[in-house]
Amino acid sequence: MMALPSALAGIIWMLFVTHTTLSVPSLMGAIMSIGVATSNSILMITFANEQRVEGENAYKAALAAGYTRLRPVLMTALAMLIGMVPMSLGLGEGGEQNAPLGRAVIGGLSAATVATLIFVPVVYSIMRRQPPRHIDEDDDFSDPKTAYSLSSSPGK
């Protein structure tokens, strides 16, 4: 969730700079860029959580996630950004109709990628100070009393 405000800011900034109005295609581009930004952030957090389960502290897990997931995040973002450049130029017959979509994606995804690579790991290392709980495999989660006592334990 930490990368989404920067994605929205990037979308609004790009539409403002290019003098593009907020329209249905630009809103579709916003949805696309927010979706890719969310999946990139999930990649980072999932890897950091796996590192935490293996015994790393939050700072080292976030740092390892940043190093390890740098290439997949950049590849995903750059593929989409480069693919949107021809659309955002609005060249050809009817090209100006889909140009807002490409511009919104470029603005939102470029800002969200920076936030995913810098801001998300920093916030993760601050928010995840406590070590993860270990759940035994023989725990019975079908019992409502057990599930309630696990969810209402102190520190949650």
Contacts of 40 by beta carbon, 8 Å cutoff, 6+ apart = 3, 73, 76, 77, 112, 113, 116
Query: What's the pLDDT at 114?
Result: 93
pTM value is 0.76
Q: Which residue has the higher pLDDT, 81 or 96?
A: 81
Query: What's the pLDDT at 94?
Result: 79
Max Cα distance, the chain (Å): 64
Task: Find the mean pLDDT for residues 127-144.
Answer: 64
pLDDT band of 1, cuts 50, 70, 90: confident
How many Cα atoms sit within 13 Å of 78 on the Cβ side?
6
Q: Which of 11-15, 33-37, 93-97 has the lowest mean pLDDT?
A: 93-97
Q: Domains plus CATH for the chain?
A: 4-132 (1.20.1640.10)
